[in-house]
A and B are shown apart, each in its own frame.
Chain A
Amino acid sequence: MTGNGFTATGDVDRAESMPGTIDTSSDARHQAPFLSLHDVRKTYPGVVALDGFSIEIRPGEVIGLVGENGAGKSTLMKILGGVAAPDRGLIRIDGVDHDRLTVENSLQSGIAFVHQELNLFENLDVAANIFLGREPLHGGLLKLVDRTKLREMVLPLLKRVGANFTADTPVSELSLAQQQMVEIAKALSIKARLVILDEPTSSLPLAETEKLLGVIKGLKAEGISVIFISHRLHEVESVADRVIVLRDGMLAGTLASDAINHDQMVKLMIGRALKARTNTSEREAGAVALSAKGIRTAAYPHRTVDLDVLHGEILGLAGLVGSGRTEFARVVFGIDRSLGGELYLDGKHVLLSSSADAVATGIFLVPEDRKLAGILLDFAVAQNISLPNLSAHSANLIVSAASENTTAEAQKSNLGIKAPSVKTRVGTLSGGNQQKVVLAKWLAMKPRIMIFDEPTRGIDIGAKAEIYRLMQALADTGVAVLMISSDMEEVIGVSDRVAVMHEGQISGILAKDQLDQENVLLLAVGKAAR
């Protein structure tokens, strides 16, 4: 089916009339789009997920796709992947119009996905992962895998993504960024023309992020298009030729290359401007709350961490992933035993042999992996919140549901947890609300030291702002807040001071007036700050 008055140059860029979207000719702009969507609408019962959405994708174009959670990004991906059928609209690939794509259509058209949660088999090696199910075989009855041929096929792919690992490395030994390279190599192996990366950098440290952005540029140079979905706007800014902003299932705006900037994106995403620095507090930090002296962890048994966290401050703990930050936090929270060194709480030496000891002394941790360590998905909101403090909600060791619910109700309204009731299973809530439940659990008690490990990973901007507000409120009441973060905007925007870790040691501490991206980066890679 063609016609319908659909032309490739119609009203595709709805936001053309918006300020800051003047189109300048980039190289890609000259080429005809090989894939376009026109006026696509997708509804799910009770919700319009995507409406009146149009996009053109040209060869070798890097498109940044941003929007808050629920803006319609995943729906768009599902449509492109052939998993969801649009209710209305056209999908044109190489001049052929489709009402919808099937998974086969999508694959044959060279659309490849690299999902946030990687789909690799950790027990297999790189080559096996890339050609899983498509292994070159020896002939004969047994159909053995032709390992030599497999290697020959994998090597050029690895070279193209600039891999610094070999084809026979087990995936379990690769870093996250390296695993993503494997996924991209997999995409290349099916001759992808469009690679869609969903939040690829959300759990990557700085250096690895740079590497990944380099790979994206490499793809672009080969004429492969990329859709780069990310909450990390400065990365989008650095790599995208064009940015498409989604809001509530609609196209909120398109930014051409020279108009891409952080403020514009945020403005379009949330429909209002966000203050650059969320931490505008003038509070004075108090005495030393937590003092770590010579702490050694299993990650770097021969290095020591010395760090003071003050009452009433947010101390950012920056550094590359694998620099030993999480291991340090686990020791302070009593999950792991330290290999040496001492902890002092308000000047008093404390011995923490378990997380129970830490909780009893008022040291709380909001862990990095929410679903693995933060919450019980099958427990109700109230039961999650009361879990660390059950003795306070019980008489004669019998739990009082009424007491649990009262506390949970208070926290629910205090934190603005969006849940039908405190009896709702936490697993049914959105990521941001789940994270608020983790917070509520500790706020319902009396925190002295709060440790946040990557507190806003995978959380939309609205919930992020709220979590920052809560952190500031905690610090205002004199709580010592230690925030581990790999998100540069967050580290600089939220902290009062920033300690940077490098290979198991604190490489430097930056006061407010020294706090900038360059200094954090320098310290993170083991150089001195300016």
Chain B
Amino acid sequence: MNKKDIGLLILIVVVGAVVATINPRFLLPINLANTSNLIGLFGILSIGQAFVIITGGIELSVGSLIALLGVLFIDLIANHGMPWPLAFMLILVLGGLIGLAHGWLITRLNLQPFVVTLCGLLIYRGIARFYTADGTAGFAFGQNFPTLEFLTAGRTYGIPNSFIALLIIMGVTWVVLHRSVFGRYLYAIGKNEEAARYSGIRTGRMVMAAYVICGVLTALSAIYFAMYTRSISPASHGNFYELYAIAAAVLGGFSLRGGEGSIVGVILGTILLQELQNLVNLLGIPSSLNFAVMGGVILIGVLVDQQWDVFRAKRRLNKAAHSTPSN
């Protein structure tokens, strides 16, 4: 954890303490479990987004993908009788393939990530709505998938299994991003793609892999969201989720230029965002102000962060000037 992460953690604790003082219901197990469930759901897709942002890219189609893949998943197991493990795998593969397609368009055909994924945002939303004829996809009365429901919406010792899933994914992706060769390549590409290429890194493949990881994690969270809501109206399901993910990353210290950020950071960002949502509910702030509160906090967070960097750069400059003679 670096200093920024610790700062963010302190902020989370302070906000939590304030909310808990004003409204003690914040600390009720049921509220904590609900919030951590949401942290789990949003955390998984935010980690996916983080991989893409590290490379200097962006993935805007996350929300639409969550609608499309969620609709498909429920339709497969509820209406077509496909065994859920098979459907589960199929959806993950589909998410990966869509990520691959995005990565291919971006790296091989040199399209801008923003453009490619913006088109994805529109296309997948449209297909999802068409697929259900703008209806709602859901389970028939009495349909049950005990194991699947336990894994996605169940709890272990009171802890939502979605949150446990997030912890596992966090652990794995932390190693991948911060300790593996592939992770190092991603940071190198994000910092300076040309220099990475001149060091013999297959930059195109690495960037594609980042989009595939994002696609798979998005697909996974799509299943979790589907099982959480149990019915999906594809016109609104998942709206703006890509922006939650991007916001979590930015709060967590990611640079949209690429090459900066950490798994811990993006998770802390996700936690803060969900805490704010919870705050709006618990403090009786009109829920219509929800987005405004989030936007305000992110703006302040980024501003403080930037000023902190400026301050540190100044201090470092002064220190350098005092200690070593330079030209």
Contact = CB atoms under 8 A, between A and B. Distances in A.
A335 B198 contact: yes
B181 A391 contact: yes
Contact of A372 (B182, B187, B194, B259): B194
Main secondary structure of the interface of A (DSSP, over half): mixed
B210 interface: no
A82 interface: no
Given A45-B321, A441-B199, A387 B188 contact: yes
A374 to B, nearest CB: 6
B105 interface: no
A373 B192 CA distance: 8
A387 B199 contact: yes
B323 interface: yes
A21 B318 CA distance: 41
Contacts of B324: 46
B180 A399 contact: yes
Contacts of B192: 372, 376-377
A374 B320 CA distance: 25
B321 A46 contact: yes
Nearest to A359: B200
A500 B196 CA distance: 30
Contacts of B326: 47, 70
Interface stretch (A210-218, A296-304, A350-358): A350-358
A167 B205 CA distance: 44
B179 A399 contact: yes
Contacts of A69: 327
Interface in A352-376: 354-356, 358-360, 365, 367, 372-376
B322 interface: yes
A321 B195 CA distance: 22
Nearest to A333: B198
B201 interface: yes
A70 B325 CA distance: 10
A333 B5 CA distance: 41
B314 interface: no
Nearest to B187: A379
B197 interface: yes
A383 interface: yes
A430 B327 contact: yes
Contacts of B202: 354, 356
A375 B195 contact: yes
A373 B325 contact: no
Interface string B84-121: 00000000000000000000000000000000000000
Interface size class of A (residues with CB under 8 A): 35 or more
A163 B188 CA distance: 42
Interface residues of B, number: 30
A45 B322 contact: yes
A388 B200 contact: yes
Given A374-B195, A376-B188, A378-B259, A358 B179 contact: no
A349 to B, nearest CB: 20
A373 B194 contact: yes
Interface in B217-276: 259
Contacts of A47: 321, 325-327
Contacts of A388: 199-201
Contacts of B259: 378
A390 B184 contact: yes
B22 interface: no
Interface string A197-222: 00000000000000000000000000
A47 B184 CA distance: 37
A303 B104 CA distance: 33
B155 interface: no
Nearest to B194: A373
Given A394-B181, A397-B181, A399-B179, A376 B191 contact: yes
Contacts of A428: 320
A387 B71 CA distance: 43
Interface string B309-325: 00000000010111111
A449 B322 CA distance: 43
B175 interface: yes
A397 B188 contact: no
Contacts of B196: 376, 387
Interface string B287-327: 00000000000000000000000000000001011111111
A335 to B, nearest CB: 7
Given A45-B321, A376-B188, A356 B195 contact: no
A356 B200 contact: yes
A367 B196 CA distance: 12
Contacts of B198: 333, 335, 355, 365, 367, 373-374
Nearest to A330: B198
A388 B198 CA distance: 9
Nearest to A369: B194
A398 interface: yes
A388 B194 CA distance: 13
A491 B267 CA distance: 55
A391 B182 CA distance: 10
A390 B191 contact: no
10 contacts: A45-B318, A47-B326, A354-B202, A356-B200, A359-B200, A372-B194, A375-B195, A376-B192, A376-B196, A398-B179
Interface of A: 44-47, 69-71, 333, 335, 354-356, 358-360, 365, 367, 372-379, 383, 387-388, 390-391, 394, 397-399, 428, 430, 441
Given A375-B195, A388-B199, A398-B181, 14 more contacts: A45-B322, A46-B321, A71-B327, A355-B201, A356-B201, A367-B198, A372-B192, A374-B195, A377-B192, A390-B181, A397-B180, A398-B180, A399-B179, A399-B184
